[in-house]
């Protein structure tokens, strides 16, 4: 098993190119099952979650050709509509094939995705929406067994859910009539999914708003190309790396419009940056001010950036307060940061983060974003930090170690002793 050795107090400088968004690519790969032919996705991030989803598509009968960061998927000969536990258990986003398979084939079995390190993420909203569209849902031996011809419905989500919105959109593609989703998630990744389906010939109204209207289609176009949006969470992570080390670093190949909540927080914290059409450059962060952060659905502050900003807040001039509203277990990085000398206290879903001088030590990554927070802390810690269980990082960050090394981070990838 690999681990990282990071020597702290390094100054960073240079440019980081951002990869495609994992959280946009996964629903697009699921959507490819709706295409009775070929479609191509560009700007594909080559991370382990993507490889898992491609394996699932292959298991269902689709074929694909991967060329660099572009993949062409052919779903014309999909023969299997059972998504096996052995694959689905490795990644929760696999549940998104449920909407596609049910919409196209009128029946499917998809393994329940199981637990998640950062908290409970039930799929009850997904299933209720499908039932309202006419599906018969049974839970049998750990699988969701869904069947029936889907029809138009008005879906009103009690709470905002990205996954449930995506699954309902996918299910509505071949449904008879018009499906309306109220209180839909508005993330850029949802917009990217709608763009893909519009290219395929689906009529969708309200893209980017909380009310989506999807007109069921009889046939979809084939042989089209859709570009995956830049990863706003990866971009935010490298922006935090530049800020926490007070370094001049340009983060490029991004969509700054997707980073509004993060850049607003940088303004509040006194971090000086230059904003371009497709880049942000950190210019100065030598006097970071304390911040109050509350996570919420897009366009609010993303929960996927909470851990990274917690590391950044350790460099602030006063106590910061972080209120995590979306996941009940998303503070597992706190104990590891405290091992490095951080002064962070928890009270239920609120973390109090006091300015701290960090010291390198051995720490354990617990989930994807917690892992990146530990790396950020290691960049400014005195001495050497060893980050273990870095397989979490490889789920969502493409070439993280190389990208950091290229801008001056002293980082090595080593193998654990047997």
Quick check: is 116 catalytic? Answer: yes
Residue 41 in contact with residue 28, Cβ under 8 Å? Answer: yes
Tokens coding 109 = 């079995």
In 3D space, the residue among 233, 197, 237, 207 whose CA is nearest the CA of residue 23 turns out to be 233
CA gap 344, 342 in Å, rounded: 6
Could you report how far apart the first and last alpha carbons of the chain are, in Å?
Answer: 9
Q: How far is CA 194 from the centre of its chain?
A: 17
Contacts for 67 with CB less than 8 Å, ≥ 6 apart: none
Query: At a CB cut-off of 8 Å and minimum separation 6, what does 133 contact?
Result: 150, 151, 152, 153, 155, 168, 171, 172, 175, 179
**What would the DSSP string read from start to end of 113-134?**
----TTS----HHHHHHHHHTT
Tokens for 88?
């689905």
Which tokens go with 313?
């807040």
C-beta separation of 413 from 2 below 8 A: yes
**Which ranges constitute the DSSP H helices of 327-399?**
333-339, 368-380, 391-394
Nearest to 288 by CA among 244, 242, 249, 354: 244
Closest to 61 in 3D by CA, of 100, 10, 12:
100
Question: How many CB atoms within 10 Å of residue 286?
Answer: 9
Cis peptide before 75 (omega within 30 of 0): no
Q: Which of 108, 116, 226, 252 is catalytic?
A: 116
CA distances to 53, 127, 330, 396 from 2, rounded to whole Å, are 23, 38, 24, 16
Residues whose CB falls within 8 Å of the CB of residue 128, separated by 6 or more in sequence, listed in order: none
Q: Which residues are catalytic?
A: 116
């Amino acid at each position: 098993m690999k681990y990282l050795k990071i020597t702290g107090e390094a100054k960073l400088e240079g440019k980081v190119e951002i990869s495609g968004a994992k959280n946009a690519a996964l629903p697009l790969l699921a959507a490819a099952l709706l295409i009775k032919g070929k479609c191509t996705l560009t700007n594909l991030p080559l991370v382990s979650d993507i490889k898992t989803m491609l394996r699932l598509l292959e298991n269902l009968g689709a074929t694909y050709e991967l060329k660099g960061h572009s993949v062409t998927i052919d779903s014309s000969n999909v023969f299997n509509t059972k998504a096996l536990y052995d694959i689905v258990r490795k990644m929760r986003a696999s549940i998104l094939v449920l909407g596609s398979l049910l919409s196209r084939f009128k029946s499917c079995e998809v393994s329940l995705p199981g637990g998640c390190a950062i908290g409970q993420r039930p799929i009850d909203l997904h299933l209720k929406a499908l039932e309202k569209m006419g599906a018969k849902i049974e839970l049998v031996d750990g699988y969701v067994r869904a069947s029936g011809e889907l029809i138009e419905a008005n879906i009103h989500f009690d709470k905002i859910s990205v996954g449930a919105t995506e699954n309902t959109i996918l299910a509505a593609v071949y449904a008879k009539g018009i499906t309306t989703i109220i209180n839909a998630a508005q993330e850029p990744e949802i917009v990217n999914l709608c763009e893909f389906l519009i290219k395929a010939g689906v009529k969708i109204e309200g893209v980017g708003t909380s009310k989506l209207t999807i007109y069921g289609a009889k046939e979809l176009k084939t042989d089209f190309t859709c570009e995956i949006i830049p990863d706003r969470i990866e971009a935010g992570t490298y922006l935090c790396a530049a800020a926490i080390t007070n370094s001049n670093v340009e983060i490029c190949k991004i969509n700054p419009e997707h980073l509004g909540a993060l850049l607003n927080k940088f303004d509040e914290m006194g971090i000086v940056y230059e904003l371009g059409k497709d880049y942000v450059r950190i210019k100065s962060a030598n006097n970071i001010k304390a911040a109050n952060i509350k996570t919420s659905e897009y366009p609010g502050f993303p929960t996927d950036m909470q851990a990274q900003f917690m590391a950044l807040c350790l460099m602030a001039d006063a106590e910061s307060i972080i209120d995590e509203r979306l996941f009940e277990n998303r503070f597992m990085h706190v104990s590891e940061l405290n091992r490095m000398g951080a002064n962070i206290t928890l009270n239920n879903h609120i973390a109090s983060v006091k300015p701290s001088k960090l010291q390198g030590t051995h720490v354990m990554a617990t989930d994807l974003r917690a892992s990146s927070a530990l790396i950020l802390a290691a960049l400014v810690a005195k001495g050497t930090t060893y980050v273990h269980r870095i397989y979490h990082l490889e789920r969502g960050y493409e070439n993280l170690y190389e990208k950091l090394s290229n801008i001056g981070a002293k980082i090595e990838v080593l193998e654990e002793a047997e």
